[in-house]
Amino acid sequence: MIERAHHIYRVAQDGGPAHVLESGGEWRALDGELFGGYAAGAPVDPAGLRLLAPVEPSKIVAVGLNYRDHAAEMKKPLPAEPLIFLKPSSAVVGPGAAITLPPGVGRVDYEAELGIVIGRRASRVAASAAPAYILGLTCVNDVTARELQKRDVQYTRAKGFDTFAPLGPAVAVGVGGGALDVQAWLNGERRQSSNTRELIFDIGYLVEFVTSVMTLLPGDVISTGTPSGVGPLAAGDRIAVRIPGVGELVNEVVAAHPG
């Protein structure tokens, strides 16, 4: 395992997906196991690499109303404990992939979020021990069919459409999550801007809470909630989730093909 802060990318190659490491502008193959011991291998030319979602989670555990300003925006009281829901693995897409707007669902919103990537099997983990179970951090766009969310009792349908969980562009390892800016940029205009200092429930607490309910597997993601400023997407839009030190996740928006 390399010691200094670095980014782990998952890329498409002829022989199948592979992971590469980037640190200080230097790119190298990942030798070893992503969820075990790994080291920096041979140099890699980043030119022309096609980035994929950095991990393939069995599930994404998302947290609702975890920024005070977003709770106010949604006209809901501050939660007494984390409000969690699942996004399916089939919703995951990577950087550069299209977010597809399903027909007939009404308004679909972007939600910029910081994601916690789990690095080892985690069950009933104390908050103080959480760092030992975290591989790193990533950007998440918790795309939401807002009208369905308001209509349904729970969030599975509104949050679970294919392409509604963009992840990436990388897993940032060795980056602290306690004071990170979280932003959404729609067509070059900043629409969301906050900092993880404003989280109601911090990273350690979320790991403890979620693992008291379910076992998290290597590659699973906890999406920590979105700040105020959520808004609708339209076909042709370009939406970017930007978290300095973690990365910038950019996706285009398209309408579903009829039929």
Give yes or no: residues 84 and 210 share one domain.
Answer: yes
Q: For residues 86 and 36, state if they share a domain.
A: no
Tokens of 4: 């200094």
User: Is residue 30 in a domain?
Assistant: yes
Number of domains in the chain: 2
> What does the DSSP 8-state code read for residue 258?
P
Whose tokens are 């550069």? That residue is: 96
Which amino acid does the sequence have at 184? A
Pairing status of strand 112-118 against strand 134-141: antiparallel
Q: Report d(CA 172, CA 242) in Å as an integer.
A: 13
226 lies in some domain? yes
Tell me the pLDDT of the chain (259 aa) as tens digits: 566 899 999 999 888 999 999 999 999 999 999 999 899 999 999 998 999 999 999 999 999 999 988 888 888 888 999 999 999 999 999 999 999 999 999 999 999 999 999 999 999 999 999 999 999 999 999 999 999 999 998 999 999 999 999 999 999 999 999 999 999 999 999 999 999 999 999 999 999 999 999 999 999 999 999 999 999 999 999 999 999 999 999 999 999 987 6
Give residue 71's pLDDT.
Answer: 83
Q: Do 43 and 64 share a domain, yes or no? A: no
- The kind and range of the H/E element at 165 are strand 165-173
Residues 28 and 66 in one domain: no
Distances (CA, A) of 234 to 108, 145, 157, 256: 8, 12, 19, 11
Examine the domain organization and report whether 16 and 80 are in the same domain: no
pLDDT value at residue 241: 98
What does residue 72 show for φ and ψ, rounded to 5 degrees?
Answer: -65, -40
Domain assignment of residue 67, given as a range: 59-255
Residue 231: partners with Cβ closer than 8 Å, 6 or more residues away: 109, 110, 186, 191
Q: E strands of the chain, at which residues?
A: 6-12, 18-23, 26-32, 38-43, 50-52, 59-64, 83-88, 92-93, 98-101, 108-110, 112-118, 134-141, 144-145, 165-173, 181-186, 189-195, 221-223, 231-232, 238-243, 247-255
Residue 1 counted as domain residue: no
Q: How many CB atoms lie within 10 A of CB 214?
A: 14
- State the pLDDT at residue 138: 98
Is the residue at 204 inside a domain?
Answer: yes
Do 86 and 30 have their domain in common?
A: no
How much is the pLDDT for 70?
A: 84
CATH for 24: 2.30.30.370
